[in-house]
A and B are shown apart, each in its own frame.
Chain A
Amino acid sequence: MKRLFQCVALSATLLMAGFPATAQTPPNVLIVGQIAEPKSLDPHAVTATNDFRILVNLYDGLVRFKDGTLEIEPALAENWEISEDGKTYTFSLRQGVTFHDGSQFNAEAVKFNFDRMLREDHPFHDTGPFPLAFNFSTIDAVEVVDDHTVVFKLSEPFAPFLSNLAYPTGLIVSPTAVEKHGKDFGRNPSGTGPFKFAEWQSNQLVAAERNDAYWDGAPTLEAVVFRPIADANTRVAEMMAGGIDVMVEVPPDNLAAFRGDPNLQVHEQAGPHVWFAILNTSEGPFADKRVRQAANLAINKEVLVNNVLQGTATVAAGPIPPAFNWVESQVEPYPYDPERAKQLLTEAGETNPKVTFYVTEGGSGMLNPVTMGTAIQADLQAVGFDVAIESYEWNTFLGKVNEGLKGRADMAEMAWMTNDPDTVPYLTLRTEASPDNGGFNSGYYSNPEVDDLLAKARKSTDQAERGMLYAKVQEIVHEDAPWLFVANWVQNAVTTANVQNFKLQPSFLLHLKDVTK
């Protein structure tokens, strides 16, 4: 027994000898605290913003979002031409670019990327599944004209095409690496980006080193390390302990503490996100437009974004987030006016409507769904609604909501993040997009005028015209109120004070090329 004590005492002394040895991040290497381990580093196989944050540093697309905007600029394609009918896109590719594995980037490589995703007969289609490949479902064929020219033939004009190419699903992977690693490509990625993959230790880190040969100027940082820290409290503790240089998605409650710390910098950026509650327009009290408007007037959205979300969101006015600044909408959010809400309920003959409200316990982009759901319930009760909340775990919740609310619920929380104003209304507000037809219009909203506008905006390749069409959509949908319009998320991140040139993008992507430390 005595010997055991000596043993313990000895090892304790040995341990103490080295203190303090913790919480030092190495110079010129950026440690990023992520919310989860990536699923894969194959950009075509993933759907989560968390994974995109790594991928945009390893790969480039043909085009990309211009710094600080959602506008398109050239990347691996130097320029492009769109045919009159909007169905043929011809890209001239940048010359002399090589993948990290040494193979050449060229037109064949581009064709390989899209064929792998879209053609079931492609020899490497089985390296998927490719869940967001439907973003490119309008592509009929990709044709190689010469080494540096590639043509995309679309089955119909599709305005969001370029912006989909700029999204991570459009990032270009090395065909040689896919051929070499097959299904394990996601663990052995190779792209053309500013950083090249170095190592992935399960649930511990993904490390990437500087690509000295980067075509757009090599980064200053020697390396970037992404650490998954799933528990938000632990992530905050790591930031405070100095174990990470950057932390994304700071919980609202911790943001205030970080703001006051001179050793830390808080970064914020509004993005194309909208948080809303779907209202069941097919039956029950919300079939009446006045009741839907009353619900919108009854919610104190300022309190939600300022108190519940601690200023990490702004009040939403309609389905199109203000981050799409080229959509010039004059629509203001519904004011908080419980008196007017009561009046509308009386007019509709529904002074005490009973509603069932689906609430989720968490999920991508859902912010603080339980507290928000409860606050919304309280506000609705105050004007006479009788609200019963049913809450579900995220995947169960999605299963229920995506099947449509008919016969089950009157309202359901939901949030979307997108890269083009087309996506959300096209998938969730068109008559054709009802759950029976495989769409996300779970509240069965239907307005032929909106259907027409969306169809037109989708075909137009004139940005200004599209801006006007979406502004009109915003106005009509706001008036029809098929949702409770609640919030647009302002994403945030915290960095230590010595991290320079760190910038969040409205696309929710995280470009680290220009960061120094």
Chain B
Amino acid sequence: MKAYILKRLISLVPVLFGLSIVVFLVMAMIPGDPATAILGSYATPENVERINRDLGLDKPLIEQYFIWIGNVLQGDLGRSFALNRPVIDEVLERFQATLILAGVSLVLCSIVGLLAGVVSAVRQYGWVDRTITFAVLAGISMPSFWLGLILILLFAVKWRLLPASGMYAIYGGGDLRDLLLHLILPAATLSVVAAGIIARLTRAAMLEVLRQDYIRTARAKGVPERRVIWRHAFRAALVSVIPVIGIQAGFVLGGAVYIETVFQWPGVGAMLVKAISTRDILLVQGGVLVVAASYVLFNLAADVLQTMLDPRIRT
């Protein structure tokens, strides 16, 4: 097990390395440069050249990349052009916020998705199943940024129950309760689609398992139905659903990009949107590296969990 985890962690290195090259090339390929973004309508060739020189962007691309990777290996992610502060400070500060939002959303969508899927499967073709299936399909089909705006409109503007945006109250906030209040709407929005997908898969997996002989045997033996479903069937179904939850981690991290923008959540997603539009290449690199690494780690955790649950893969 330890060797497996270690192997997976080592495989992270080439993934991140390759990714950094891709990000670098893509950022170099899209038109416009940081100097133009900084100068806006004042971007004369002369001014652009001056700013590029100040930022060290007048060097050849290859050289820029090697300078960057050399610094990264020494633990220095460079300075953001647009924010004029070390990339590492900004990314870590932002990543905490994303982790809170994405983590809570992942837990939320897993609980809701698994529950809905199990109930749906047990009551197959009953009205509960139909209602859940309808809700799930609606959730999957809804654009999340739109849902986010509607939730803001209802809960913040109309009923004034929850804050419209941000992570903490501007004044007198900062405690856990304040954070939770601010978290409800974005986390709910972010989990809707993922919950729907998990629910669909759980339902399919449960139906599959419930048809198995050992379930019939268990029922025949007189094991209580509740125990049959949760102990025997659900546990088996979970094994095939967990990798999907791992994949949803990627979705939740990716979805955070626009949900964070809608809710002004100070996370990595909103940061990346701005960094790309200002061609802030080092900040994009830093943000992408952190998001990619956490995606790989989420999936690793899912795989480890699956191994622990499934006796067939254990050994």
Contacts and interface: CB of A to CB of B under 8 A. Distances in A.
Nearest to A135: B42
Interface residues of B, number: 63
B208 to A, nearest CB: 22
Q: Which of A42, A205, A225, A364 has the most CB atoms of chain B within a 10 A radius of its CB? A: A205
Contacts of A39: 38, 82-84
B220 interface: no
A429 to B, nearest CB: 14
B42 A395 contact: no
B230 A1 contact: yes
B152 A234 contact: yes
A402 B42 CA distance: 9
A465 to B, nearest CB: 27
Contacts of A13: none
Interface string A174-199: 00000000011011000000000000
Interface stretch (B64-72, B121-129, B168-176, B248-256): B168-176
Interface string A237-252: 1101111000000000
Given A202-B90, A240-B157, A398 B181 contact: no
B274 interface: yes
Contacts of B43: 398-399, 402
B31 to A, nearest CB: 4
Given A47-B38, A230-B274, A129 B50 contact: yes
A214 interface: no
Nearest to B51: A129
B156 A204 contact: no
Nearest to A402: B43
Contact of A225 (B30, B82, B170): B170
Contacts of A132: 42
Contacts of B32: 393, 395-396, 398-399
Interface string B22-59: 00000000111100111111111111001100110000
Contact of B177 (A18, A23, A31): A18
A184 B86 CA distance: 9
A395 B31 contact: yes
Contacts, number: 175
A157 to B, nearest CB: 22
Contacts of B93: 202
B181 A21 contact: yes
A241 B164 contact: yes
A187 B40 contact: no
Given A395-B277, A399-B32, A131 B42 contact: yes
Contact of A14 (B44, B157, B160, B177): B177
A203 B44 contact: no
Contacts of B167: 204
A382 interface: no
Interface in A37-94: 37, 39-40, 42, 45, 47-48
Interface string B95-106: 000000000000
Contacts of B51: 129, 131
A416 interface: yes
B153 A231 contact: no
A22 B159 CA distance: 11
Interface string A218-233: 0000000101111101
B44 A439 contact: yes
A387 B241 CA distance: 54
A230 B83 contact: no
A455 B167 CA distance: 53
Interface stretch (B195-203, B209-217, B262-270): B262-270
Contacts of A438: 44-46
Contacts of B266: 201-204
A486 to B, nearest CB: 16
Contact of A231 (B40, B94, B156, B264): B264
Given A227-B166, A230-B274, A183 B84 contact: yes
26 contacts: A15-B184, A22-B156, A22-B162, A40-B83, A47-B39, A126-B54, A129-B51, A132-B42, A186-B84, A186-B85, A187-B85, A204-B166, A204-B168, A229-B264, A237-B149, A237-B156, A237-B164, A238-B164, A241-B152, A394-B277, A395-B36, A398-B32, A398-B41, A399-B36, A416-B41, A440-B44
Interface of A: 1, 4, 11, 14-15, 18-23, 25-26, 29, 31, 36-37, 39-40, 42, 45, 47-48, 126, 128-129, 131-132, 134, 183-184, 186-187, 201-205, 225, 227-231, 233-234, 237-238, 240-243, 363-365, 393-396, 398-400, 402, 414-416, 435, 438-440
Given A22-B162, A186-B84, A243-B166, 16 more contacts: A11-B180, A18-B177, A18-B181, A20-B161, A22-B169, A23-B163, A131-B38, A134-B47, A202-B93, A230-B270, A237-B165, A241-B157, A241-B163, A395-B37, A395-B277, A399-B43
Q: What 7 A-B pairs come out closest when comparing CB atoms?
A: A395-B32, A203-B266, A129-B54, A396-B31, A26-B171, A241-B156, A438-B46
